[in-house]
Amino acid sequence: MAFIDSLAHLAPEQWNRLSGTTNPFLRHEFLYGLEKTGCTTAETGWQPRHWVERDEQGHLIAALPSYLKFHSFGEYVFDWAWADAWTHYGLEYYPKLLSAVPFTPSPGPRLLHASNHPPGSTGENFSSALETLLASGQASSWHLLFPDQSSREALNPERWLTRLSCQFQWENHGYRSFEDFLATLKSRKRKQIRHERKGVREQGIRFQNLPGPEITQAALDTFFVFYQATYLKRGQRPYLNKAFFQHIIESMPEHVHLVMAIHDNHYCAAALFLHDQQTLFGRYWGCLEEYDQLHFETCYYQGIDFCIARGLKTFDAGAQGEHKLKRGFRPQLIQSLHWVENEGLRPAVADFCRREARAVQAYAAEAENALPFHQSRTTPE
């Protein structure tokens, strides 16, 4: 058992034998792509510290993508208040150990293991390695973000603090068309979405859908300008660089889909999605000029069209956004696991998690009541 400082130490086939190649975010190509293009480095505050386990023959049998974090940007489970509390008591919160897929608020497997290696044993071995690392003072705490149920169970969630957050996901109930989906909505919401889509068309905007293998350099270059603008408008630098997008398009094109909006024969906006055989993941969007309703059309309605056409079951459109509710995205409770090494602060953090969980559960229940569906009908006739 060991923590390694880069996936460069592992061949893609070694890692992918554990992760599989179904989930795009867990593939060696994605995670190592972040490293080699300079997105996850010590300089960016994401120092790789991946946990790996080998058998007696030296074969990789388990792994957990992890990073020493020197800030809390790009995580989507916000702990700035925890960092402030550490500072208030004269303690250092950073670095912390984060087990997650960087910049990706999407639930999925996290603790990876060989099919013939018991997950419970893997979880215990990681816990032992984690205790050693925390006791050495290399990190103040440990945080596992967006794990699926199997990863949580293998890591024995009763040992850790649990936080709840809420996201919104669209579900495909066998819709045959976008109109088929609209038919499940209340009349007022149905008319509103039709009005939004019509408004985009009346501005003379059309769309070009580019599967990964068909993404041209010109389209990628333009998309990246738009993507950068999304961050620059908020006074921030983008988390990802063009070299990373170039890398995933070249190394895993079957997972990539780019939607380009065109106005007056020029690109005016773009959204880049990733997907597997079950789920569309909406992640990266940008534009330079504002057009009425264009964001909703490009990021949500084009994505719903894609799911229906491909028969995908779920559209995971990312973190936050109550505006997704009236477009049919249901609230989903998401769990994350945390371990605080400081015995003095641990009870306060545990209390925070309990109070926050009650508030998140109440929020999710209220959001469920605000969905636009007919109570008697969410599936097509």
Domain of 202: which CATH number?
Answer: 3.40.630.30
Do 187 and 283 lie in one domain? The reply is: yes
Q: Is residue 355 part of a domain?
A: no
Q: Is residue 264 part of a domain?
A: yes
Read off the pLDDT band of 157 (50, 70, 90): confident
Percent of the chain with pLDDT over 90: 88
Instruction: Specify the pTM.
Output: 0.94
Do 151 and 186 lie in one domain? The reply is: no
pLDDT digits (tens, 9 = 90+) for 297-326: 999 999 999 999 999 999 998 777 778 999
Q: Is residue 232 part of a domain?
A: yes
Mean per-residue pLDDT for 285-290?
A: 93
Q: What is the pLDDT of residue 118?
A: 73
Judging by beta carbons within 10 Å of its beta carbon (0-12, 13-18, 19+), is residue 249 exposed, middle or buried?
buried
Do 174 and 152 lie in one domain? The reply is: no
Q: What is the pLDDT of residue 179?
A: 97
Q: Is residue 181 part of a domain?
A: yes
Q: Of 159, 185, 215, which marks where a domain is finished?
A: 159
Read off the pLDDT band of 177 (50, 70, 90): very high
Q: How far apart are CA 249 and CA 214, in angstroms?
A: 10
Q: Is residue 110 part of a domain?
A: yes
pLDDT digits (tens, 9 = 90+) for 36-69: 999 999 999 999 999 999 998 999 999 999 999 9
Can you give the residue range of the structural domain that contains 145?
A: 2-159
Do 139 and 279 lie in one domain? The reply is: no
Read off the pLDDT band of 351 (50, 70, 90): very high
Mean per-residue pLDDT for 194-210?
A: 97
Do 119 and 179 lie in one domain? The reply is: no
Residue located via tokens 């293991």: 113
Mean per-residue pLDDT for 339-364?
A: 96
Q: Of 132, 159, 186, which marks where a domain is finished?
A: 159
Q: What torsion do the CA atoms of 217, 223, 229, 230 make, to the nearest 10 degrees?
A: -150
Q: What torsion do the CA atoms of 110, 145, 131, 56 make, to the nearest 10 degrees?
A: 10
Q: Is residue 83 part of a domain?
A: yes
Do 239 and 327 lie in one domain? The reply is: yes
Q: What is the pLDDT of residue 319?
A: 74
Question: What are the two backbone dihedrals, phi and then psi, of residue 193, each rounded to the nearest 5 degrees?
Answer: -65, -40
Do 154 and 184 lie in one domain? The reply is: no
Question: What are the two backbone dihedrals, phi and then psi, of residue 59, each rounded to the nearest 5 degrees?
Answer: -80, 140
Do 60 and 142 lie in one domain? The reply is: yes
pLDDT digits (tens, 9 = 90+) for 327-341: 999 999 999 999 999
Read off the pLDDT band of 198 (50, 70, 90): very high
Do 211 and 244 lie in one domain? The reply is: yes
Supply 307's token pair.
């799911």
Do 174 and 148 lie in one domain? The reply is: no
Read off the pLDDT band of 378 (50, 70, 90): low
pLDDT digits (tens, 9 = 90+) for 75-114: 999 999 999 999 999 999 999 999 999 999 999 999 999 9
Q: Of 316, 331, 346, which marks where a domain is finished?
A: 331
CATH number at residue 72: 3.40.630
Q: How far apart are CA 262 and CA 119, in angstroms?
A: 48
Q: What is the pLDDT of residue 48?
A: 98
Q: Is residue 365 part of a domain?
A: no
Q: How many CA atoms lie within 13 A of 357 on its CB side?
A: 14
Task: Estimate the share of the chain in helix, then strand, then coil, as percent rounded to the nearest 5.
Answer: 40, 25, 35
Q: Is residue 54 part of a domain?
A: yes
Domain count for the chain, please give it.
Answer: 2
Q: What is the pLDDT of residue 275?
A: 98
Q: How far apart are CA 189 and CA 227, in angstroms?
A: 30
- Which of 262, 282, 260, 245 lies closest to 206, judged by CA? 262
Percent of the chain with pLDDT over 70: 98
In the predicted model, what is the mean pLDDT of the chain?
A: 94
For 20-78, give the secondary structure using H, E and C.
CCCCHHHCHHHHHHHHHCCCCCCCCCEEECEEEEECCCCCEEEEECEEEECCCCCCCCC
Q: How far apart are CA 274 and CA 276, in angstroms?
A: 7
Q: What is the pLDDT of residue 381?
A: 52
Read off the pLDDT band of 376 (50, 70, 90): low
Which residue type does 315 have?
A: F
User: Which residues lie below 8 Å from residue 79, measured CB to CB, with a gap of 6+?
Assistant: 72, 143
76 Rama class: left (phi>0) / alpha (psi -120 to 50) / beta? left
Do 154 and 173 lie in one domain? The reply is: no
Do 186 and 154 lie in one domain? The reply is: no
